[in-house]
Amino acid sequence: MPPGTLGHLDLLIDHVDVRADLAALTVPTLVISTTLDQLVTPHHHWQLSNAIPGTRHTEIPTGHLPFIERPERWGALIRDSLRDSRT
């Protein structure tokens, strides 16, 4: 089990809810929806996107670990978002 796994599970179990804080974010935000993710579903990604003003939402056809399943695409999405946020 990777380090930090138990801490992440505790967050899920304790039902940490940050939804009320999301509207206050004022930084450029990219939400990458992993369309095949069965742990955090696209429905949850859209909830996040809709709660943060000005969010850019994109999709990648992977499961929960896009940085392992499609690292080139994942990296390109992040690089493009960072580049676009500077202009």
User: pLDDT category, 42, cuts 50, 70, 90?
Assistant: very high
What is the token pair recorded at 61?
A: 């056809």
Q: Would you state the pLDDT for residue 86?
A: 81
Could you tell me the pTM of the whole model? 0.79
User: pLDDT category, 87, cuts 50, 70, 90?
Assistant: low
- Please provide residue 41's backbone torsions phi and psi, each rounded to the nearest 5 degrees: -80, 165
pLDDT score of 85 more than 70: yes
Q: Mean pLDDT across the stretch 8-21? A: 80
